[in-house]
Structure 1
Amino acid sequence: MKSDWKKYIGPGPLIAAAFIGPGTVTVCTLAGVKFGYDLLWALGLSIIATIVLQEMSARIGLITQKGLAAVISQTLKKGLLRYFSLFLILLAIVLGNAAYEAGNITGGAMGADLLVNLPVLTLGQLELNLLNLSIGLIALILLMSGSYSKIAGFLTLLVIMMSLAFLASAIWVQPSVISIFEGFIPKIDATNILTIVALIGTTVVPYNLFLHSSLVAKRWTKMEDLKYVRVDTMVAVVLGGLVSMAIIITSASGAAMDVNNAADLAIGLEPIMGVAAKYFIAFGLFAAGITSAITAPLAGSLVVVDCFGWSNDIRKMPMRISIIFILGLGLFFSSMGIKPVQLITFAQLANGILLPLLSAYILWLVNKKSVMKSHQNNLWLNVLGTGIWLITFLLGGMSVSKVMGWI
């Protein structure tokens, strides 16, 4: 009885770690500075959408004991649709994750740079930031440890500390409780629509769906474990959502009028928090960067090996080569002098194409009896899932339109 609580702990902290990255910190910071508490409702909506999609993906992993990419690969019949789908998934996940990885590494280094100054080495067109290399090396060492439990343990600790840092800063600024509740009344206009899209897009992350299904299959094996899967999923997503809300509340309460990156938030908070502002923001941003720098190559590698039917054992060569490739590509992108915002813009385009397609695949799979046996979706889950698919379709269309300059 004493160890029953451990059954509820699964890959949830890794999922929370994956979507609370520097992109999330930056988007939530900008949302708070520009619109105050007005967009808290958008995060509430994205939390619901994320819980529903992650639960479906996790349920597929538990029932099939395979990752989502492997299930899609095996379920689609041979033909153009199969190869087009797998090609699109591989392209979007591998290149998208490499772009996110560059943003994760650069964002984490931006937080660490508030406390530690390391030189930038120039080699031709490449700018080798030693902080970037340090974060990449930490991520690589943990991933090469060959143990999902060690990675999960490290990330769980870091996510808890990061969450406490952001939640403590939100409490410190003493926000108006009434104003916070008013922020959950939907407000949409031409000035905030793209920020709403960004807030939802930074929470409902496609690669998390692949990562979650694969890790659930490794953690639990019996149908009776479904209740543990659901609790782990809900707690992780709600915790991540609360952290995102705390960032909005903190930035809305600061004195910053213009924020070009999340590190600028420390300056805006100094009148309220004093010298502690720098340490809270530095640690939060560093932790967000390093946790996401670990999960992005892990998720991308699981997709690669599942698509080709290779072993997803982290100690085996296919996983290690895939991890090194994605992490190395991220480091390369982060060393080219490309701004993190530009890197994440590319990843948004990949997500914009992939998310509606992936949501449709998930809805199809969770209603397929040959895949789900007696654990298919019920009517209300299908209604909710269809509504979320429409949101992801609109989100995808707007993300692509924004990047292409159509809106």
Structure 2
Amino acid sequence: MGKSLEEVHGSVVTQNKKSVFRKILAFFGPAYLISVGYMDPGNWATDIAGGSQFGYALLWVLLMSNMMALLLQSLSARLGIVTQRDLAQASRETYSPFINYILYFLAEIAIAACDLAEVLGMAIGINLLFDIPLIEGVIITVLDTFLLLFLINKGIRKMEAFIIVLVAIIGFSFIFEMIFAQPEMGKVIYGLIPSMPNEAALYIAIGIIGATVMPHNLYLHSSLVQTRNFDRSKAGIKQALKYNFIDSTIALNLAFFVNAAILILAAATFYKNGMYEVAEIQDAHRFLAPLLGSKWAPILFAVALIAAGQSSTVTGTLAGQIIMEGYLNLRIQPWVRRIITRLIAIVPAVIVISIFGESVTGKLLILSQVILSLQLGFAIIPLIHFVSDKSKMKGFHIGRVTQIASWIVATIIVSLNAKLVFDEINGWLETSKNPLLLWFTVVPLAFGFLILLIYIVLKPFIAKTKISILNHSPHNLKLQFSKSGTYTKNNIAVAVDFSNADEVALNNAFQLGGIDAKYTLIHVVETVGAMVYGENIDDHETLIDEKLLNEYKEMLSEKGFSVVTKLGFGKPNVVIPKIINEGQFDILVMGTHGHTGFKDLIFGTTVDKLRHKISIPLLIVKN
């Protein structure tokens, strides 16, 4: 299993900082990327709906959600810092392939729902500010996929700076909105007292929780904290945990301010004036100027909306990459992954808007947040199990009080979701003209997910699962070598990737060099983290790859071969030529998986880019 976000893994150095402030500053950043997920356009829709329908009454839901988010994000950061795995990788190591495929599918649904909200929010903001039709605005949002590619190639710190600027734009916009709106502070404070006006408020409340505590953020945070290269001693890990908690506290409280400001704005303008049905972002924008008496109010609103959509789409697509690589151990070209994620969101948005018109965007946004909320249990429960495990966490497992608090949060979220699902299905059965169809489709599906939820809750208590190494085992290689013949090469480099192609490559190398040649086995760790942090990376995949490379060396040494190993980090077509050109090799041997054309486009190529960069012969053997 590779490093999480390998391009940027361990790329930010936190050691040798001259002052405490500089050291703290080195750790700050990941939580701000997380915080934008808590103020994305989906949040705007649920906050506006909650404020216009129920005034300040649901402010306490935002506060509770923020406290839940801070707890869960701190658990996610702890998992990444201590184990050097993200949540998807930890799940892959713990559950069976069948369960992991289901969890992956659910995580992808969450990503699609999140991206749908971001696409719609960006398109609405573009429409409001520049009067570009909504459909065209949705299509324009494809372009920000390439912005993400540009940013990640510049390094994680540049990306973090870009996001922080967008967060600042959102924050300043709402400071002015609050000045324009002049909310009643007494009612704001009263809104922090828990209450639930009616059933409709419950639906909005669950949407707010889903919009605030987002499942993809749990995957993302556990990966982003691995971009920091820090001292891996016990004291160093403790320090990293402390600074990341401070980072999370500041960033998530900023997100709470933005969400509360949106709800308060809706309450102070629409609810106050009896406009209880304002749920669409477009309606909110249209009514702001006449109600607040300022032409700047709607402009700042639209600018903040675009900033929210743009910032959250960057983090959403990163989360999609982490989930795919973590659950499936499948790496495809980053731009392909991001285009797929964006199209999954754009296609349904274009279809629905084309059929039902622009008036349904608010309902789509709220629905996307409820879908997110329904996925939460399948991310939260494994996370709590992982960070409670003494063996996985190497002594940094959470204490009893934190465990109890975490399970209370999980119980609240799962219970609210269960009630929502039960009420919705019950309503469908009562109003459907063909309830039998629902009994044979929707009801069994709901029971299936309930059984899955119970399974992931109980499994760690029933049996402790050993961490499995899912890479190709060197002991399965059927190496053949004949000591007779003429050998022409003395110093041979062999590129290995722990797949079946290694067997063919090694056998061909032995035919060239025989028992007396010197063999250098080269493997490149090509996770996102390795690309960013290089040799300073210290994650799970690097440890596994290094272990497998050493097993190759031991096995071949036992057979009498002279073998050394070289572990590289980054893109193979860059790293391998560098290793080759710095050494004194006679030939490079590497296997190929034999894919061409479309598969090259999806998975990328190494051979074509590599052969022009080396000054020695290259032997390519097909598996």
Q: Is the 8 A contact 2:377 2:414 kept in 1?
A: yes
Aligned to 1:396: 417
Counterpart residue number, 1:213: 222
Aligned-pair identity in percent equals 26
Q: CA offset at residue 403 of structure 1? A: 5.1
> For the Cα contact (< 8 Å) 2:42–2:369, is it kept in 1?
no
Q: Is the 8 A contact 2:180 2:294 kept in 1?
A: no
Residues 1:143 and 2:157 are matched in the alignment = no
3-state SS, counterpart of residue 92 of structure 1: helix
**2:320 aligned partner:** 300
Determine the C-alpha separation between the residues in 2 that align with 1:385 and 1:230: 16
Partners of 1:381 and 1:374 lie apart in 2 by 15
Which stretch shifts more, 239-248 or 98-107? 98-107
Deviation per CA, 1:20-50, whole angstroms, max 9, x where unpaired? Answer: 1111001101111111111111111101111
Q: TM-score, normalised by structure 2?
A: 0.59
Matched to 2:161, the amino acid is G
Alignment of 1:148-227 (within 5 A): 148-191=156-199, 192-221=201-230, 222=232, 223=237, 224-227=239-242
Question: Which whole-Å CA distance do the structure 1 matches of 2:292 and 2:396 have between them?
Answer: 51
Range that drifts further, 325-334 or 299-308? 325-334
Q: 1:25 to 1:141 in 2, by over 3 A?
A: same
Q: Which residue of 2 aligns with 1:244?
A: 259
2:107 counterpart of 1:93:
yes
Give 1 or 2 for the bigger CA radius of gyration: 2
Deviations 1:50-91 (A, max 9, x none): 111111011000001121100111133xxxxx2343222221
- What is the alpha-carbon distance in structure 1 between the residues aligned to residue 58 and residue 172 of structure 2? 22
Q: Which has the higher helix share?
A: 1
* 2:119 alignment partner in structure 1: 105
Task: Name the stretch that deviates more: 18-27 or 287-296.
Answer: 287-296
Contact 1:13-1:236 at 8 Å conserved across structures: yes
For 1:406 and 1:84, locate their aligned partners in 2 and report how far apart those are by CA, in whole Å: 32
Listed one character per residue, the Cα deviations across residues 151-190 of structure 1 (whole Å, up to 9, x for unaligned) are 2221111011112212321233111221111111111242
Contact 2:127 2:133 in 1 (8 A): no
Structure 1 spans left out of the alignment, 5+ residues: 77-81, 121-128, 312-316
Aligned 1:8-407 pairs, distance under 5 A? 8-76=27-95, 82-119=96-133, 129-145=135-151, 146=153, 147-191=155-199, 192-221=201-230, 222=232, 223=237, 224-255=239-270, 257=275, 258-270=277-289, 271-310=291-330, 317-338=332-353, 339-341=360-362, 343-344=364-365, 347-348=368-369, 350-401=371-422, 404=425, 406=427
Provide the C-alpha distance between the structure 2 equivalents of 1:254 and 1:373, rounded to a whole number of angstroms. Answer: 52
Q: Are the equivalent residues in 1 in contact too, given 2:118–2:309 (CA < 8 A)?
A: yes
Match of residue 469 from structure 2: none
Alpha-carbon distance in 1 for matches of 2:33, 2:388: 27
Give the TM-score of the pair, scaled to structure 1: 0.89
2:62 touches 2:208 (CA, 8 Å); kept in 1? yes
* Number of residue pairs aligned between Structure 1 and Structure 2: 389
Which of 12, 15, 26 lines up with 1:7 in the alignment?
Answer: 26
> Residues of 2 paired with 1:135 and 1:275: CA distance?
27
Q: Give the distance between the partners of 1:323 and 1:139, measured in 2 at CA.
A: 6
Partner of 1:123: none
Unaligned runs of 5+ in 2: 1-18, 354-359, 429-623
C-alpha RMSD over aligned residues: 2.2
Distance, in Å, in 1 between the alignment partners of 2:185 and 2:370 is 36
2: distance between equivalents of 1:296 and 1:140?
Answer: 14
Which 10-residue stretch deviates more, 210-219 or 150-159? 150-159
Q: State the alpha-carbon separation in 1 of the partners of residues 41 and 184 from structure 2.
A: 26
Residue 585 of structure 2 corresponds to: none
Q: Secondary structure at the match of 1:188?
A: coil
- Higher RCO (Cα < 8 Å, 6 or more apart): 1
Deviating more after overlay: 244-253 vs 93-102: 93-102
Cα deviation, residue 349, structure 1:
6.0
